[in-house]
Amino acid sequence: MTPRQVADYMFGQDYFSQWMNIKMIEVKENYCLIEMPIRKEMINGLKTVHGGVTFAFADSALAFSSNNTGDAAVALNCIINFTKAGKEGDVFRAESILVNDTRKTAVYDIRITNQNNELIAKFVGTVYKIGKKVTEL
């Protein structure tokens, strides 16, 4: 399977990413660019995007980029820095780029931006390679 086919296979079973209305813009080996519209159900009591939504969006980017070779990997550690508040009606993009790869782990940098290319959050995710194929799970 190609990286895009693996990501599409995963997305078909990922009901949370579907609920977030994520769209795959570009998928390459160990890389993805995804997009998500911000809806009113994603807004917190301060009228900004809930941090958990932003984190979950980055986590989905991590999943689609770190598993798209067909070898399964799970999040081991994730850190996020919020740099700008998102608002209802925004369109978020997350770009996940592999920065370090070892036999059992990998590290990805993920930038989340809005429709004006303003940085919303910076996320670093470390994954653990579990030694199984995505299609075996």
Cβ of 82: how many Cβ atoms within 10 Å? 17
User: pTM above the 0.85 mark?
Assistant: yes
Confidence of residue 93 (pLDDT cuts 50, 70, 90): very high
Torsion of CA 122, 50, 73, 16, to 10 degrees: -140
Confidence of residue 135 (pLDDT cuts 50, 70, 90): very high
Confidence of residue 124 (pLDDT cuts 50, 70, 90): very high
| Residue-wise pLDDT tens digits, 101-122 | 999 999 999 999 999 999 999 9
- Please give the domain boundaries of the chain with CATH numbers for all domains: 3-136 (3.10.129.10)
Residue 26 forms beta bridges with which residues? 33
Percent helix, percent strand, percent coil in the chain, to nearest 5: 30, 45, 25
State CA 67 to chain mean position distance.
Answer: 11
| Residue-wise pLDDT tens digits, 53-91 | 999 999 999 999 999 999 999 999 999 999 999 999 999
| Residue-wise pLDDT tens digits, 27-51 | 999 999 999 999 999 999 999 999 9
Helix axes 51-66, 3-13, angle to 10 degrees: 140
Cβ of 13: how many Cβ atoms within 10 Å? 10
Predicted confidence at residue 119, as pLDDT, reads 98
